[in-house]
Every structure is written in C-alpha cells, then in structure tokens.
C-alpha cells in the first residue's frame, strides 16, 4: 500500500516540477524581440553604431556580389564624395569608362550606358543611373542579429566579382 505521506510528497514534487518548468520557459518583455529592450517604449533603445570602411579608394578590397548581377557594394570610404549633385558626381570621376581603367576602379558596366526604354547605347552614363548611391551602398561592419542562410549561385566563375546584366537582361524573352 502507498502511504498518504508518499502521495502528498509525490504531488508536492510534481507541482514543484510543473511550476519550475513553467517559470523557466517564460520570458520577460526585455527578452522578447531582437532588440532586447522594453517593448512599450523607445527610451532605452539605441541603434548599434554604423562602421563604414575608412579605407581610401584605390586601397580597399572589393566585396563579393550578393548574387549574380547584384549591384556591388562600395568597398571604399566615401567621405567627401557625397552628395551627388547635378553639377558634381565624383563617383563618375573615377568610374567612368576610360578613366576607371587608369585608376584601377571597376568601370560602369554596359547596362549603365544604355537606355532601357529605347534600347539604344548611350555615349555617356544614363541619367537613370546618375544617382549611384540609390543602388550602390557602402557596407557597415556590424554583426547581423539573424544569420543569413542565403548562398548565391553564380553561373560564371567570376560572377562574384563581375556583372553582365545587359548580356542576360532579356534571357528567355523572345
């Protein structure tokens, strides 16, 4: 026969385990979300500081393209190069084909000297591509909060370092 004392002890033990488990799997507000601060206000929430490349153009290391024909990230310091204005686009000063080869910068690709509407090749960079930083951005050196599992597959061996959008733009379209 199981004694009453044993039954009481066993039920006390199971209550203890049950509540113990419940406590360990509950979260307080600060633990919710990725930012780990209170969720009803912004007072204690501060963004992580950005840390952009300080390496001068000409000395930086190019960043592999995120996927085939992705706009490459800007690997060098852009201090003093922005804003891009109607009168002044310093990016073009180095990246325009002809100059780029001399300063060892990647020249703007064929797609930038092309009018997508008329399908005509242009003598200079298309106005639609004038504002370089609308598509090309510097990369801040911060740890991502969530790991990115995406792995690009390039169809050409040099696909991580070169683009050819204009060559493949109308692939499959006839």
From the list 2-10, 40-48, 57-65, 150-158, the region that binds ligand HEC by CB under 6 A is 57-65
Distance CA 62, CA 75 (A): 6
Which range, of 4-12, 21-29, 33-41, 53-61, touches ligand HEC by CB under 6 A? 53-61
Q: Which is nearer to ligand HEC, 48 or 79 (CB)?
A: 79
Residue 104 in the binding site for ligand HEC (CB under 6 A): yes
Residues, the chain, total? 174
Smaller CB separation from ligand HEC, 35 or 136? 136
Q: Token digits for 51?
A: 């840390």
Q: Does 17 bind ligand HEC (CB under 6 A)?
A: no
Piece in contact with ligand HEC (CB under 6 A), picked from 4-12, 20-28, 34-42, 133-141 = 133-141
Q: Enumerate the H helices of the chain as residue ranges.
A: 4-24, 90-95, 100-103, 165-168
Rg (CA), the chain: 28
| Subset of residues 61 to 100 that bind ligand HEC, contact rule: CB under 6 A | 62, 69, 71-72, 74-76, 78, 81-82, 90-95
- Give the β-pairing of 120-121 and 114-115: antiparallel
Residue among 38 and 105 whose Cβ is closer to ligand HEC: 105
Token readout for 168 is: 């493949």
Q: What's the CA gap between 29 and 42, in Å, rounded?
A: 13
Pairwise CA distance, residues 51 & 65, whole Å: 20
Contact footprint for ligand HEC (CB under 6 A): 57-60, 62, 69, 71-72, 74-76, 78, 81-82, 90-95, 103-106, 108-109, 111-112, 125, 129-136, 162-165
């Amino acid at each position: 026969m199981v004694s009453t004392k044993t039954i009481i002890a066993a039920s006390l033990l199971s209550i203890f385990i049950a509540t113990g488990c419940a406590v360990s799997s509950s979260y307080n507000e600060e633990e919710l979300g990725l930012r780990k601060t209170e969720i009803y206000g912004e007072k204690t929430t501060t963004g992580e500081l950005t840390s952009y490349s300080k390496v001068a153009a000409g000395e930086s290391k190019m960043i592999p393209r995120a996927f085939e024909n992705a706009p490459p990230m800007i690997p060098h310091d852009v201090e003093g190069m922005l804003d891009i204005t109607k009168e002044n686009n310093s990016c073009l000063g180095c990246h325009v084909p002809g100059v780029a080869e001399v300063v060892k910068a990647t020249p703007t690709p064929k797609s930038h000297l092309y009018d997508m509407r008329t399908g005509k090749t242009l003598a200079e960079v298309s106005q639609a591509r004038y504002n370089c930083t609308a598509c090309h951005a510097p990369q801040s050196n911060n740890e991502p909060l969530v790991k990115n599992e995406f792995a690009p597959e390039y169809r050409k061996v040099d696909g991580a370092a070169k683009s050819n959008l204009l060559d493949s733009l109308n692939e499959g379209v006839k």
